Amino acid sequence: MWFPMICDPAFRSVVEAFREGVGDGGAALSITAGGRTVVDVWHGDWERDTVVNVFSVTKGWLAALAHRLVDNGSLDLDAPVSRYWPEFRAPVTVAQLLSHQAGLPALRAGLPAESLYSWDAMTSALAAETPWWEPGTGHGYHVVTFGWLVGEVLRRVTGEDVRTLVETELGVPDLFVGLPEHADSRAAELVNGGVAGDMPIPLPIAVKALANPPSLLVPGVANTLAWRRAQIPAANGHASARALASLYGGLTGLDVPVRSDGHDQVMNGNTRFGLGFMLPNEVRPFSPNPRAFGHPGAGGSLAFADPDTGIGFGYTTNRLVISTSGADARWTTMVDELYQI
């Protein structure tokens, strides 16, 4: 069923693109412009307050928290991570950690499957790991480890875990790292939407990044209660599109310069990152404006801010279409229409 709720006439073409491209399953689109909600629509067997796992979109929430700590003087970008996390062995600065330059996208030694759900197990293993490349000399997407690495720094600085910081410090309802029990009834089940484009043979480091702990590759793992209750802040954030657009609409005044640009040693393509945020790039071209910043998520969800237009964009879906490179076709028409307004 189709439920148009808010649609400023100027954005009607964007909503039509959403409607035509959404396909099976549920989805939602929300857009803010100049601090005002101009689009808030959803499709499928969803309600106004449905939330869904948005995978790597979660990384942008950690980035927003880190920027706040930098702004208030609690976090020094040039400081070694070990200043805040003494057990951390690698010679990595906070800025390198946020910019995917730390050389810690994967763990070499195999971990038990249940380690995925243990904060202490993952952070302890990462604190003792040797970087895969000299920190600062290159970059590679820290697909899952980013959440524990940055999240532990945030925890050490503030004394609060990431779940609490997201709920109390970002000031936006319906952003959850994991899923609290009280929101279970509002969570959409994820469904397989297939594969888009060619799936090249992954690099060995990417295999390690995506399959250690091995529970990461269990089919349907993101629908399990263990996944939903854990704190895996690079991958198991749950949100509504409205919450994502609200968050990024409030970040449009943020300047996010490029920190990493070029060959990605994990994704094996060209990527761009600022401090914690992804920037539009060859592997994930989510906006035509190179100054936009945000994060896509595996399967199709997307959130970003455009500081030049004042746009905050949030798109969520439970029909997961998997690709290793390129824009999700569902974004493309919406974003194209958005930038013609």
pLDDT tens, per residue, the chain with 341 residues: 444 589 999 999 999 999 998 888 899 999 999 999 999 999 988 998 999 999 999 999 999 999 999 999 999 999 999 999 999 999 999 999 999 999 999 999 999 999 999 999 999 999 999 999 999 999 999 999 999 999 999 999 999 999 999 999 999 999 999 999 999 999 999 999 988 766 566 688 999 999 999 999 999 999 999 999 999 999 999 999 999 999 999 999 999 999 999 999 999 899 999 999 999 999 999 999 999 999 999 999 999 999 999 999 999 999 999 887 888 999 999 999 999 99
What CA–CA distance (Å, rounded) separates 332 from 116? 33
CB-count burial class (<10 Å; 0-12, 13-18, 19+) for 171? exposed
pLDDT for 24: 84
pLDDT for 1: 44
pLDDT for 200: 62
What CA–CA distance (Å, rounded) separates 320 from 84? 37
- Is beta strand 52-53 parallel, antiparallel or unpaired with respect to 311-317? unpaired
pLDDT for 4: 52
Domain 2-338 belongs to what architecture?
A: 3-Layer(aba) Sandwich (3.40)
Q: Name residues whose C-beta falls within 8 Å of residue 90's C-beta, 6 or more positions apart in sequence.
A: 81, 102, 103, 104, 129, 130, 131, 135
Tell me which residues are annotated as active site.
56
pLDDT for 249: 98
Question: Exposed e or buried b for every residue in 65-94, given b needs 16+ CB within 10 A?
Answer: bbbbbbeeeebebeebbeebbeebebebbb
